[in-house]
Amino acid sequence: MCGIAGHIDFAQSAEQGQIVLAEMLQSIEHRGPDARGQFEVSPSVFLGHNRLSIIDLSDDSNQPMIRGDLALVFNGEIYNYLEIREELIGQGVQFKTESDTEVIIESYKKWGRDCVNRFVGMWAFAIWDDAKRELFCSRDRFGIKPFYYIHKDGAFYFASEMKALKKSRLFQNRYNERVVLKALHLGPFGADSETHFEDIKSLVSAHNAIFKDGQLTTSRYWDIDFSNQCTLKSQADRIEKFKELFIDSINLHMRSDVEVGGCLSGGLDSGAIASVVGQKYPDVNFRTFNIFYEGSGASDVDERPWVNQITDKYPTLKPHFLSPTDEDLINAFDRFAYHQDVPVSGSSPLSGYFVMRLAAEHGIKVLLNGQGSDEYLAGYMHAFYRLIGNSLSRFNIPESISRMAHHSKDQGLGAKDKVALLARSLYSSITDEQGMAVGQLKRKFAYLSSSIAPDSLVNYPSLGQSRFTEYLYHATFSSTLPTLLHYEDRNSMAFSIESRVPFLDHRLVEYAFSLPDQDKIYQGKTKYVLRESMRDFLPSAIKNRKDKKGFVTPGEVKWLRGPLKHLTEINPDGLPMLDPNKTSKVLNAYNAGDNSNAKLVWRLATLNHWMKNNGFI
């Protein structure tokens, strides 16, 4: 895990090019403290790298790595590099290192741009091909690793974080009003090429880019193929296949030349990962990390009793806990916000920040985390509306009633909640994901802009699939997950930690999308295929948990009314993209004790903080 940067700009001198690259690398030094390399690999072509050593710790694997006409800078891990390496050796390739970095270069030599289709992993990389006089760039299938760029006037600058691109002569400090409003009202922001800054773009997940002769072209190299449906007839067989793929993913993600630890809440996802490690790696002491909060209502934000059930079952799991104090929150917030580069739409990423700090204090450089499962395996309650909506749209009333009954029983819904479930399911039955998102913009919060229509902030195209499947796809690729991965990457790299996500092995995701709906939600139980595949691994209480919690925080109310109260000192006139009267109404109600819009107030507070720190107000 590392930080990459580079530029191709014929309008500046070689000396200035080296200075700018050094400044870019310095701004993201936290991503790779173990080594730094920067070269002018060809006239006016500069590549730089900050290294966090994980695979092959020798200096021979430092970057930029140069082999003949090729020069590479790479951030990420190719988990199946050993298998690819053996295949290439069988075809006569001779390697000088034991690294996955060299495997990328040799794969590119052998298969060209198609090499990325062979990789299982997470990556953002750039290869300068001097023979072709072009820069080949690629980002992994889910956008786990970031790749930002500025392309203007025939020049191209790229980096792992937006803050590095502020060093470019091309950067002009202007915020992107559309993205700012989308993040404020919806939360998700990180799926397409737009960012919070007008000049800075993001290479979209599962895309390659070619920069040649001043022109940039991008192309998608992978997507879910919905025509590939699982042919296994028995649900038991399908569950067994999921288990095999999941365990194989964890085996690949455990490859490392440094110690691997794990984030561990008491939930199903991180619990499944830790339990597989505990059972399959009995000789490995696997350190885990969790956050809790003390004080009134502490039971709502304390997962230790659940964590203890897992660690009691597997003694080689060594739990570590931290309870951040008010002083911790005050002292950490500015640094946390600086590393995120964008306004943070909820308080839970701050908990993630403290998890990474705790792991770093114990010398951990690699962590396994549970991101991804909720999105493609239907872990969120919103998935039920779409599932029932599927039945209603087909006028299958018995199936609709059965699904509603199972969900109501499993969640203990009262009469009022059942009516709400029916209403949302009916709405889902006649509305696609685009319409659902726009409807959420208009209903969930007061829409605070008077200049941009909410319809223009959303782009969830129809895929020709069921409402349920399209919801899972867009949660994975268009809304929730891309934003969570942004927070995950920035929090981990703030402490020079590589965060790995075994649920995002693309083979596992492809398989999950090939499964019938009942393997994801069955008789009211979410993520059914995962629960059942982990029957012999997880404590039964964890396997059967019904509540959905991650690193829960009391942030939007307790923190903003306590240690972070200074963030709510907002002048609505300083947020020019918003209607000041509407904004004042929301803030005044919150200050008078109304918590109904607490999440929106958090977003306003972090937006205001971001605007100030970027010189917009």
* Residues 6 or more apart whose Cβ sits within 8 Å of residue 142: 122, 205, 206, 372, 476, 477, 481, 482, 485, 504, 506, 509
Q: Which of 243-252, 346-355, 384-393, 438-447 has the lowest mean pLDDT?
A: 438-447
The mean per-residue pLDDT over the stretch 597-617 comes to: 95
- pLDDT tier at 300 (50, 70, 90 boundaries)? low
Domain membership flag for residue 60: yes
Q: Which residues pair with 67 in a beta bridge?
A: 70
Task: Say yes or no: 333 and 442 in one domain.
Answer: no
CA dihedral 227, 232, 236, 239 (to 10 degrees): -40
- State whether 563 and 609 are in the same domain: yes
Residue 421 has pLDDT above 60, yes or no: yes
Amino acid 557 reads V
Backbone angles phi, psi at 507, to 5 degrees: -65, -35
38, amino acid identity: Q
Domain boundary among 490, 520, 543: 543
User: What is the reported pLDDT for 446?
Assistant: 74
Alpha-carbon distances, residue 383 vs 175, 190, 374, 460, 526 (angstroms): 33, 21, 10, 16, 9
- Residues 447-465 have a mean pLDDT of 87
Reduce the DSSP state of residue 280 to 3 states and report it: helix
Distance of alpha carbon 468 from the chain centroid = 22
* pLDDT value at residue 37: 97
Specify the pLDDT at position 210.
98
In a domain, 225, yes or no: no
Lowest mean pLDDT of 59-68, 77-86, 277-286, 431-440, name the range: 431-440
List the beta bridge partners of residue 201. 149, 194
Report the pLDDT value the prediction gives residue 548, as an integer from 0 to 100.
62
pLDDT at position 299 is: 41
CA 279 vs CA 94, 340, 566: distances in Å: 37, 35, 47
Q: Is the dihedral of CA 608, 610, 616, 617 positive or negative?
A: positive
- Residue 543: closest CA among 304, 264, 309: 309
Between the alpha carbon of residue 445 and those of residues 185, 187, 440, 559, the distances in Å are 7, 11, 8, 21
* Residue pair 24/159 in contact by the 8 Å Cβ criterion: yes
The reply to whether 405 and 304 lie within a common domain is: no
Two tokens at 148?
Answer: 């930002």
Could you tell me where the DSSP H helices lie in 191-325?
235-253, 268-280, 304-313
Domain boundary among 162, 189, 220: 220
Assess whether 301 and 364 both reside in one domain: yes
Domain final residue, candidates 436, 468, 500? 468
Are 359 and 352 spatial neighbours (Cβ–Cβ below 8 Å)? Answer: no
Preceding peptide of 64 cis, ω within 30°: yes
Contact 269, 96 (CB under 8 A): no
CB 275 within 8 A of CB 313: yes
Check: CB of residue 95 under 8 Å from CB of residue 106.
yes
The residue ranges of DSSP E strands in 363-455, in sequence order, are: 366-368
Per the structure block, which two tokens stand in for 293? 């909060």
d(CA 340, CA 333): 11
Would you say 132 and 212 are in contact if contact means Cβ atoms under 8 Å apart? yes
Decide: 33 and 52 in contact? Cβ < 8 Å.
Answer: yes
Q: In angstroms, rounded to a whole number, what is the distance separating the alpha carbons of residues 573 and 617? A: 10
Has residue 294 got a pLDDT over 90? no
For the sheet containing 498-500, what is the strand order?
A: 317-322, 286-291, 260-263, 366-368, 498-500
Query: Mean per-residue pLDDT for 224-248?
Result: 98
By the 10 Å C-beta count (0-12 exposed, 13-18 middle, 19+ buried), 98 is classed as middle
Dihedral sign from CA coordinates of 428, 431, 437, 438: negative
**Domain interval for residue 69:** 2-220
Q: 373-391: per-residue pLDDT in tens? A: 999 999 999 999 999 999 9
**Residue 503, domain member (yes or no):** yes
Q: Which residues pair with 8 in a beta bridge?
A: 45, 156
Buried b (16+ CB within 10 A) or exposed e, 494-504: bbbbbbbbbbb
Average model confidence (pLDDT) for the chain?
Answer: 94
548 domain residue, yes or no: no
Is the same domain home to 87 and 109? Answer: yes
Q: How many domains does the chain have?
A: 4
Give pLDDT, residue 444: 64
On whether the CB atoms of residues 578 and 611 are closer than 8 A, the answer is no
Q: Identify whether residues 371 and 391 lie together within a single domain.
A: no
Quick one: 280 and 412 in the same domain?
A: no
484 touches 352 (CB < 8 A): no
pLDDT digits (tens, 9 = 90+) for 529-576: 999 999 999 999 999 988 765 556 778 899 999 999 999 999 999 999
Q: Is 2 a catalytic residue?
A: yes
Residues 6+ apart with CB under 8 A from 573: 580
Alpha-carbon torsion, ordered 116, 122, 126, 127, to 10 deg? -40
**Mean pLDDT, residues 323-338 taken together:** 96
Q: How far apart are CA 89 and CA 87, in angstroms?
A: 6
Strands 65-67 and 70-78: antiparallel
Answer whether residue 473 is part of any domain.
no
DSSP letters, 541-568, are: HHHT--S--SS---IIIIITTTTTGGGG
- Would 228 be classed as within a structural domain? no
Coil, helix or strand at residue 354: helix
- Give the phi and the psi of residue 100 in degrees, each rounded to 5: -75, -20
Per-residue confidence at 442, pLDDT binned at 50, 70, 90?
Answer: confident
Place of tokens 């999950």: 512
Pick the range with the lowest mean pLDDT from 176-190, 222-236, 268-282. Answer: 176-190
The answer to whether residues 207 and 262 belong to one domain is no
State the pairing for strand pair 317-322/286-291: parallel
Nearest Cα neighbor of 263 from 291, 292, 302, 290 is: 290
Of all residues in the chain, the percent with pLDDT exceeding 70 is: 98
Distances (CA, A) of 276 to 69, 160, 553: 43, 32, 27
pTM for the predicted model, two decimal places: 0.96
Residue type, 500: R
Query: Is the pLDDT at 367 greater than 80, yes or no?
Result: yes
- Segments in 444-557 forming alpha helices (H): 467-477, 480-494, 506-513, 528-533, 540-543
- State whether 212 and 331 are in the same domain: no
Burial (Cβ within 10 Å: 0-12, 13-18, ≥19) of residue 28:
buried
Residue 53 in any domain: the answer is yes
Residue with tokens 């075809």: 91
Task: Give the CATH number for residue 339.
Answer: 3.40.50.620
Are residues 403 and 358 located together in one domain of the fold? Answer: no
Q: Are residues 425 and 516 in the same domain?
A: no
Q: Any idea what the CATH number is for the domain that residue 148 is in?
A: 3.60.20.10
229 occurs within a structural domain: no
pLDDT at 298 over 90: no
Rg over alpha carbons for the chain, rounded to the nearest Å, is 24
Of the candidates 2, 115, 137, 263, the residue annotated as catalytic is 2
Written as six digits, the tokens of 140 are 């992994």
Q: pLDDT by residue (tens digit) across 493-541?
A: 999 999 999 999 999 999 999 999 999 999 999 999 999 999 999 999 9
Same domain, 171 and 296: no
